[in-house]
Amino acid sequence: MTWTTDGAKEGRREIKRRQTRERIEEAAMSLFLERGFDATTIEDIAERAEVSKRSFFDYFPSKEEVVFAWQDGFADHLMAAIASRPADEPAVKAVQHGLVGAIVSAADERAMALGELIRRTPTLKARDQLKYAKLELKLTEALKARSRSDEERLRVRLLAAVVIGALRAGGELWNEQPPGTSLETFAHQFFGDFWKTLADFGNEGQGR
């Protein structure tokens, strides 16, 4: 009997299971990046991962999930990042710093390739939008946990909506940036503009 560092039991069974899962993920990703998402069949993946087609579905409910399971960690990471900001920091700033932190630490080689894949695959692009919706939901939760007053609900929801909007617009803008630009610098600059613009919109929207 084997024990992991955190004291949980992990027999041969779960070891193999984890390895198989990783093998499938690896096989799928490499195939997607090689030939594209649509041109890769589940049997291709199963073959490379040395499992049966049927077993693929024991690990992932669909082809798309292989792509997005990977990304799901981001949302949790973001929530944690926000929760760890000082309690007296205004919500707006906590989101900004939490978000920038989470993005910077998530933006590696692999993530970029994945982004490219998603961007050029219509099916995935549609599904990708759902990610933002989920993120908005989680963000709302994370913010609610921070705010003491209960009637701030609408504000919190709007903040989440607006910030996710910024994330999308900012992401697009980032993709148009010349390569070699520092993501961190860009993000800070972007948020600077963003808050300023938001204030303008707010003021124009009210009587002026």
Partner DNA sequence: TAAAATCTTGCACTCGGTGCAAATATCTCT
Partner DNA sequence: AGAGATATTTGCACCGAGTGCAAGATTTTA
Contact residues: DNA, CB under 7 A = 1, 9, 11-14, 16-17, 20, 40-43, 50-52, 54-55, 57-58, 61-64
Q: Tell me the site size for its own copies, rule CB under 8 A.
A: 45
Q: Measured between alpha carbons, how far is 202 from 45 in angstroms, rounded to an integer?
A: 50
CA distance 71 to 63: 14
The CB-of-59 to DNA minimum distance in angstroms stands at: 7
Closest approach of Cβ 141 to its own copies, in Å? 14
Alpha-carbon gap, residue 94 to 116, rounded angstroms: 29
* Distance separating the N- and C-terminal Cα atoms of the chain: 70
Q: Is 57 in the site for its own copies (CB under 8 A)?
A: no
* Residue 71 CB-half CA count within 13 A: 22
Among DNA, its own copies, none, partner that 83 touches (CB below 5 to 8 angstroms by kind): none
| Calpha distance 8→101 (Å, rounded) | 30
Find the binder of its own copies among 36, 169, 175, 184 (CB under 8 A).
Answer: 169
**Residues contributing to the site for its own copies (CB under 8 A):** 90-93, 96, 125-127, 129-130, 132-133, 136, 154-155, 157-162, 164-166, 168-169, 172-173, 191-206, 208
